[in-house]
Structure 1
Amino acid sequence: MPPKDWKLLSSKPDRSCQLFSLRTDRAVSPRTGRPADFFVVEASPWVNVIPLTPQNEVVLIHQYRHGARRVTLEIPGGLVEEADSPEEAARRELREETGYADRLLIPLGAVYPNPAIQDNLCYSFLAKDVYPVGAQQQDEEEDIEVVLKPLEEIPRLIREGQIDHALVIAAFYRFYMEYQTRP
């Protein structure tokens, strides 16, 4: 018999940080009838953008990530701010992090980054025919270098671990498995 949703008994905020809040939920297992506490990271939705030039180059970024304490190779992305739709956030992050804009933005779908402990979604987009429009507009906590790579190199970069950010890999999966197979 497949698992069922648990009945929520209570939910209370614990702590608020700049980018996320913590909350404690108490829920009852439908299988055992026993309650348990769950700690949930509440966060705004995120976006990822695969920017593709007319020459079939992907606009990637090298960015320092403090959680991993190293520079990673990624696609542009960030938070969906309150007033933004995911599409608006994708275009904003593309412009701010790379200095590029798109001619066409195609949704690739959304994934839960970690549904065991997080409540948010990450929306992925393909930005087609991107072109430079000006300088990057980095936040104080950002240090980003723009790098162009041919699209055909992306699978190798993932296989070799040069691209190892799970949400970036999920975006490329959606691109290759869904967008690339459309007639």
Structure 2
Amino acid sequence: MSDLTWKTLSSEYLFKENWFTVRKDKCEKPDGKIIDSYYVFEFPEWATGFPVTEDGKIILVKQYRQALGEVCIEIPGGCVDDTDATPEDGIRRELLEETGYAFETVHYLGRTSANPSTNSNLMHMFIALGGRKIQEQVLDHNEEIEVFEVTMDELLQLLEERRIVQSMHMTTIFYALRYLDKLKYAP
């Protein structure tokens, strides 16, 4: 197989903030063709978790999403902070902050990208098992998150009704259901 990797010749930052940075790269393709303006969005690493309580309920959250203009049903997650040693530390912190639940075990399900053609970061996916509420939520100043629990059948009904629209959360849910052996494949 041939090498498809591009060489970055230069980079220029057009906008730079903690949560969103835009970079313009000048690249050279393996065939020598120059791409003068390739735009990259830089975000922090993300982590999301499929949280399951001690009694087998799945924890979901509802929050308003300004870009879509809707209240969305999601699973908890967020940015992996500089203070988090690992993505697992990040998801454990996010789960505790957003839901008030701590978990006995957390298993890594893999990584995914929202859009590898434009976004530089990854989202790390986890399943968290044995959750129990140990504190109240500790939310950021702009967060308003409603926490609720559903049974597996209720979650599957939400999926059937296409009520969860956050695609990266759907990816995590898919891998979590696979981990829990809840997906059946036809031969």
Would the TM-score normalized by the shorter structure come out above 0.5?
A: yes
In 2, Cα distance between equivalents of 1:23 and 1:97:
31
In 1, Cα distance between equivalents of 2:30 and 2:155:
44
**2:52 touches 2:58 (CA, 8 Å); kept in 1?**
yes
Q: Deviations over 1:122-166 (max 9, x none)?
A: 011111010001111111110110010112332331231211101
Q: Which runs of 5+ in 1 are unaligned?
A: none
Q: How many residues align?
A: 181
- 1:100, CA displacement in angstroms? 0.7
- 1:54, CA displacement in angstroms? 2.2
Q: In the alignment, which residue of structure 2 is the partner of 1:71?
A: 71
* Amino-acid identity (%): 32
Q: In the alignment, which residue of structure 1 is the partner of 2:104?
A: 103
Q: TM-score, normalised by structure 1?
A: 0.92
In 2, Cα distance between equivalents of 1:89 and 1:100:
14
**2:108 touches 2:125 (CA, 8 Å); kept in 1?**
yes
- 1:28, CA displacement in angstroms? 2.0
Structure-to-structure mapping, 1:99-178, within 5 angstroms:
99-177=100-178
In 2, Cα distance between equivalents of 1:155 and 1:97:
23
Alignment partner of 1:180 is 2:180: yes
- 1:31, CA displacement in angstroms? 4.3
Alignment partner of 1:39 is 2:39: yes
Q: In the alignment, which residue of structure 1 is the partner of 2:185?
A: none
Which residue type is aligned with residue 4 of structure 1?
A: L
Q: Deviations over 1:79-135 (max 9, x none)?
A: 001121111110111011111110111111111111111100101111101000111
**1:40 touches 1:119 (CA, 8 Å); kept in 2?**
yes
Which residue type is aligned with residue 140 of structure 1?
A: H
In 1, Cα distance between equivalents of 2:22 and 2:57:
39
Q: TM-score, normalised by structure 2?
A: 0.90
Q: Which runs of 5+ in 2 are unaligned?
A: 183-187
Q: Deviations over 1:51-82 (max 9, x none)?
A: 10122211100011111111100011010011
Runs of 4+ more than 4 Å apart: none
- The alignment yields a C-alpha RMSD, in angstroms, of 1.8
**2:26 touches 2:34 (CA, 8 Å); kept in 1?**
no
Which residue type is aligned with residue 124 of structure 1?
A: M
**1:158 touches 1:164 (CA, 8 Å); kept in 2?**
no
- 1:2, CA displacement in angstroms? 6.8
